[in-house]
Amino acid sequence: MSASLDIEILENGALIERLPPTRESISRLEQELRKYDQLDLPLKHTFAPGAYAREIFLPKGCIVVGKIHKHAHLNIVSRGRVTVVTEFGPREIDAMQAPVTFTSDAGSKRALYCHEDTVWTTIHLVQSTDLAEIEREIIAPDYAELDAFMARECLRLIDSSGASVDEANPMALP
């Protein structure tokens, strides 16, 4: 990616459509976008026992780079059309068949371009209703923290199974 963004590319979404699906390219885009005026995109928070939904309205023409999610979670796009790129690949979501519901993988960080006004909701399994606590639970501030979290989770699962690390590792030598 070049050091500066071309406004024409921003306006037609080609930047996202050509963005390589890698952690590095998504992070570089996020850093580049910080040079521009930021939109205020307030969240609507909804709670149910054990669940938290955060809904956001994304206006047509905007480019958004989201946060890194530690856990798999549900998504509902109830309106709009977006092109999304994560390290797991690109995807076009068109809510003409609204709503579009899907699961994002753990480790997801999305870069997206809104072709139309879009309403996007994520649903997370949580016990708290404290937004700061929820943010710490579901979001990794960077990929180093995500990788450390994932390693701790793997070790916790191995420990709870009673297996040794070598037994749980399919690549371990006999």
Q: Which residues span the domain enclosing 38?
A: 7-129
One domain for residues 17 and 80: yes
For residue 150, which amino acid is it?
M
**Any domain includes 14:** yes
One domain for residues 124 and 85: yes
One domain for residues 49 and 111: yes
Say what the pTM is.
0.81
One domain for residues 28 and 66: yes
Share of the chain above pLDDT 70, in %: 86
* Burial class for 108, CB neighbours closer than 10 Å (0-12, 13-18, 19+): buried
One domain for residues 20 and 41: yes
- Domain at 35, CATH number: 2.60.120.10
Query: For the chain, what is the HEC assignment?
Result: CCCCCCHHHHHHCHHHHCCCCCHHHHHHHHHHHCCCCCCCCCEEEEEECCEEEEEEEECCCCEEECCEECCCEEEEEEECEEEEEECCEEEEEEHHHCCEEEEECCCCCCEEEECCCEEEEEEEECCCCCHHHHHHHHEECCHHHHHHHHHHHHHHHHHHHCCCHHHHCCCCCC
One domain for residues 38 and 83: yes
CB distance 46 to 52 below 8 Å: yes
Rounded Cα distance between 73 and 141, Å, is 17
pLDDT tens digit string along 103-132? Answer: 999 999 999 999 999 999 999 999 999 999
Res 58: pLDDT: 96
Rounded Cα distance between 54 and 44, Å, is 6
One domain for residues 123 and 146: no
Residue 7 has pLDDT above 70, yes or no: no
pLDDT tens digit string along 59-104? Answer: 999 999 999 999 999 999 999 999 999 998 899 999 887 789 999 9
Rounded Cα distance between 164 and 144, Å, is 25
One domain for residues 82 and 166: no
The residue ranking higher by pLDDT, 70 or 18, is 70
One domain for residues 122 and 146: no
How many domains are there within the chain? Answer: 2
One domain for residues 52 and 83: yes
One domain for residues 46 and 107: yes
**Any domain includes 149:** yes
Res 16: pLDDT: 81
pLDDT category at 18 given cuts 50, 70, 90 is: confident
Q: Examine residue 174 and say whether the peptide bond preceding it is cis (omega within 30 degrees of 0).
A: no
**Any domain includes 1:** no
